[in-house]
Amino acid sequence: MPVFMFLLMLGMGATLSVDDFRQLVKRPKPALVGLASQYGWMPLVSLLLALSLNLSPPIAVGLIIMGCTAGGPISNFFTYIARGDLALSVSMTVISTLSGFLMIPLMLSIYTAPFIDAAGDSNMAIPHGKIIATLLVILVPVGLGIALRSRSRLWARRMERGGTIAGFSMIMVIIAGILLRQSDTLLQIETDIYIAGALLGPTGFVLGYLSAKAMGLVKAQRRAISIETGSQNTPLALGIILISFPPEIQTEILVAPILYGIAIVPFTALTAWLFRRNG
């Protein structure tokens, strides 16, 4: 898992350049609207889904972790397919990745509190120190990816493809492992949990688009913000759970992120296709 995570973040860094940061300084409004949408809507939506569907504390915590890990690795590709603002999409990836080490622990402190208190179990405490350490370590391969791109665009593109493959491989390995060990448990999962995992992404697409429209952004920018808002970083969420929580509760916490990870690719592809079809 650490190798997959390193390759994924190295690949994400390889999509970025110093020019991306310059563009952020020149045109900050769309990226800031996107950041507010990512960390404003998604944690809130995950909390409301957990409360309305009456999810158990471990399942709810997993869903909220998924809602707090902005910057999915598939968002840039599908923004391109949707004829959205690719530069804005990449810029949002930069901001969400770099700000995550502060925003993710902060959002988790706020939105998981009701479920941590309800659990009354020390194992369910959010390990903020471990999460911050994990996120800081993740910034290292992002920086290496940026440096690689500055030296060789060819190797940066290769590393970008390799990082994408590593991210999907990480998801598949985790899913396969849980299916092999916990298949009976998964068959007994309540319908509400499937609904929560499936609805998180599409709800983010809608709210992200409406937020960007309300702020007066153009069509291409609205599309980029929509896809970036709903597309969470599933490998990062899984990595945080695997590294930070004790093994005895990992499986239950992983359920909602895995269901989200399974559902988000077809939902994002459908959203991108609908955007593209509408010109």
Total domains present in the chain:
1
In the predicted model, is pLDDT for residue 55 greater than 90?
Answer: yes
- Give the mean pLDDT of 56-70: 92
Residue 166 belongs to a domain with what CATH number? 1.20.1530.20
Both structure tokens of 212? 């960007």
pLDDT in tens, 217-250: 999 999 999 999 999 988 788 888 887 788 888 8
State residue 54's pLDDT score.
92
Query: Model confidence over 244-267: pLDDT tens digits?
Result: 788 888 888 988 998 898 888 889
Tens-place pLDDT, residues 162-200 = 776 776 676 677 667 666 765 666 667 788 999 999 999
| Mean pLDDT for all residues in the chain | 82
Give the pLDDT score at 99: 82
Q: What is the pLDDT of residue 178?
A: 62
- Between 17 and 52, the higher pLDDT residue: 52
pTM summary value: 0.79
Instruction: Give the domain extent around 139.
Output: 2-277
Confidence of residue 149 (pLDDT cuts 50, 70, 90): confident
Give the rounded percent of residues in the chain with a pLDDT score beyond 70.
81
